[in-house]
Chain A
Amino acid sequence: MVFFGSILFFCMITILIYQGFVKLQNRLNQVWLNPMLFSVITIIALLMWFQIDYHTYQTNSQIITWLLQPAVVALGYPLYQQLHSMRSQWKSITILLTISASLVVIISFLFTYIITKEYGISVSIALKSITTPIALAITEQLNGNQAVTAFAIILAGLFGALMGVPWLQLIGVKSHKAQGIAVGAASHVLGTATISQLSFQHAAYGSLALIISATITAIISPAIIHQLMVMLS
């Protein structure tokens, strides 16, 4: 009973804090007041304040993390709604995302390797643009550092979630389709979840882009990173 009680306690706290920030954001209408980011900061502060071990929090809040999986399945709905309008375009989207995914893996890996001289970290940073489960699987396959991958994925996700749409608006990228594809490709599920609140088109193209990007990166990144290491050594 004690065990069940603590699961309930940590899940309720997480949801309440998150909902609190959602309400606050709705009232103040500020983009930077991202509920995800501020919930993370608040919970870290609370854990440190009450000297609660992270593992205690993690094991008791696992259900919330697991719920991400059915939520990802739900992203298939906006995808379905846009299916008819996408059919003629998905070839060109795939070509574009193959180019962009290759470039981002090459650039991220090279820069990180030159600066840190650490192979593990470089692999992790190279894979940060795709959805967590795939990125972690490839990181393991290429002997990268899984903790860094998880960390970099959240950073990339938050960046796209917070800055993505405002920045794209600023440079004249105004179509919902372009914004959705860009955020889905650069900031995976986290970015897509955030922009899904804007319109169903954002959600649909974001989901499409994140699926294609993740699939392509899973296929090409082992070969690219292997080739880069041969060239560097």
Chain B
Amino acid sequence: MPAPLYSIIVILICLFAGYGINFAVGGLPPSLYGMMLFTISLHYKLIDDKTVANSISWTLKNMGVCFVPAGVGIIEHYDLVRSHGIAMVIITFVTTWLLLTFVGWTVQQQENKKAR
């Protein structure tokens, strides 16, 4: 079987199994269950990692395009953006920045300690 076809099939199997788990127990979205199943299957050699490697790096390189249609959806909420937009943007940026700094800095400190 050609490698890209093999990759598509194993990823779709993981995704649909993810849908099954989501349907049965709820909780996380299907794609995150799928991601975990994919990791586990690779770990236990149910999926051949060398065969999927190229297709995966192509996918990761190009997945940004998948966010574009959702992003364009911002034009739908023009009124809301006008009345609370600035506050929303500032709070989002500030809290995201705090989170980035806090997490990044803490992990880096742990890394430094280990290196010493």
Q: Does A144 contact B (CB under 8 A)?
A: no
Q: Is the CB of A218 within 8 A of B42?
A: no
List the B side residues contacting A37 at CB < 8 Å.
71
Name the one of B15, B49, B108 contacting A73, with C-beta atoms under 8 angstroms: B15
One digit per residue, 1 when the CB lies within 8 angstroms of any chain B CB and 0 when it does not, for chain A 68-79 equals 111111111111
Q: CB-CB < 8 A to B92: which residues of A?
A: 108, 125, 128, 152, 155-156, 159
A96-B106 contact in complex given A65-B69, A112-B91, A168-B100, C-beta closer than 8 Å: yes
- Which chain B residues lie closer than 8 Å to A80 at the CB level? 38-39, 42-43, 49
- Per-residue contact bits, chain B 42-62, to A (CB 8 Å; 1 contact, 0 not): 110000010011001001110
Q: Is A83 an interface residue (CB 8 A)?
A: yes
Residues of B within 8 A of A214 (CB): 28, 32
Residues on B with beta carbons closer than 8 Å to the beta carbon of A69: 15, 30-31, 34
A85 to chain B minimum Cβ distance, whole angstroms, is: 12
Residue B82 CB within 8 A of the other chain:
no
From residue 168 to 221 of chain A, which have CB atoms closer than 8 A to chain B?
Answer: 168, 171-175, 177-179, 181-183, 185-187, 190, 193-194, 196-197, 203, 207, 209, 211, 214-215, 218
Which among B49, B73, B97 is the interface contact of A167 at CB below 8 angstroms?
Answer: B97
When the two chains form their complex, are residues B71 and A36 in contact, meaning their CB atoms are under 8 A apart? yes
Interface size class of B (residues with CB under 8 A): 35 or more
Query: What's the nearest-Cβ distance from chain B to residue A233, in Å?
Result: 21
Q: Which of B43, B59, B63, B87 has the most CB of A within 10 A?
A: B63
Question: Is residue B25 contacting chain A, with contact meaning CB distance below 8 A?
Answer: no
Q: Is A90 an interface residue (CB 8 A)?
A: no
Closest to A161 in B: B64
Are A131's CB and B32's CB within 8 A? yes
In the bound complex, CA of A181 to CA of B53 (Å): 23
Tell me which residues across on chain A come within 8 A of B24, comparing CB atoms: none
Chain B proximity mask over A122-160: 1 for CB below 8 Å, otherwise 0: 000100110111100100000001011011101111011
Tell me whether B2 is interfacial, beta carbon within 8 Å.
no
- Among residues 66 to 102 in chain A, which have CB atoms less than 8 Å away from a CB atom of chain B? 67-81, 83, 92-93, 96-97, 100
Complex contacts, A131 vs chain B, CB 8 Å: 29, 32
B65 touches A64 (CB 8 A): yes
Known contacts: A54-B75, A54-B76. The answer to whether A74 contacts B60 by CB under 8 A is yes
- Give me 7 A-to-B residue pairs in the complex whose CB atoms sit less than 8 angstroms apart, sorted by A's number: A54-B72, A64-B66, A70-B31, A71-B59, A76-B37, A151-B73, A186-B103
| Interface residues in chain B, defined as those with a beta carbon under 8 Å from any beta carbon in chain A | 8, 11-12, 14-15, 18, 27-32, 34-39, 42-43, 49, 52-53, 56, 59-61, 63-77, 80-81, 84, 87-89, 91-93, 95-108, 110-111
